[in-house]
Amino acid sequence: MRLIQQAGEHCEFELSSREKALLQQVLSLYPQIPPGYQPLSKTADAQDPNQRLLDEAMNETRAHSAKAVQNLLADPNRLSRSESEWRLRLSSAELDWLLQVLNDVRVGSWVRLGSPEKPLEALTAENAVHYWALEIAGYFQGGFLEVFDG
């Protein structure tokens, strides 16, 4: 994946067919952060009415974002095939939002792995998908962040 053009509020990335497939797969895992992971306060519990409101709002936002991810990937003005590669065109607002979605997948996968501080000792059938998602989301985050390095 590479940044091929940045003009004003828009940027364009080139992806191989494999990268496009990986991006679609990792984005299909959104959301990954478990419900209730972000407590309103240290003392809030699931029965706290304000915590329930926060959880409901987060669920709505995630559902809206999941639908927006599907729409983005299906929009030929955003994701289109060139001769041998794929082109992904994003506004700066869409790029920021896509980075947030990828961050949810990455952090959520880390949480589902048990929030390890050290590398995993063993890859199992249960944790492999979360490890894969964490690494692939990070790969795409790094590629998209190239916009800010220039």
Q: What is the pLDDT of residues 20-49, one digit of tens each?
A: 999 999 999 999 998 878 787 877 677 788
CA distance 123 to 143: 26
Q: Which residue has better confidence, 47 or 125? A: 125
Per-residue model confidence (pLDDT) at position 150: 60
CB of 54 within 8 A of CB of 121? no
Which is it for the CA torsion 134, 2, 62, 24, positive or negative?
negative
pTM beyond 0.85: the answer is: yes
Quick one: 14 exposed, middle or buried, by C-beta within 10 A (0-12, 13-18, 19+)?
middle
Give the CA angle between residues 47, 50, 39 to the nearest 5°: 75
What's the rounded mean pLDDT across residues 123-144? 95
Which has the closest alpha carbon to 62: 38, 46, 95? 38
Number of structural domains (the chain) is 1
Q: Which residue range forms the structural domain that includes residue 79?
A: 2-149
Q: 56 pLDDT exceeds 80? A: yes
Tokens (6 digits) for 11: 């940027």
Q: What percent of the chain has pLDDT over 70?
A: 98
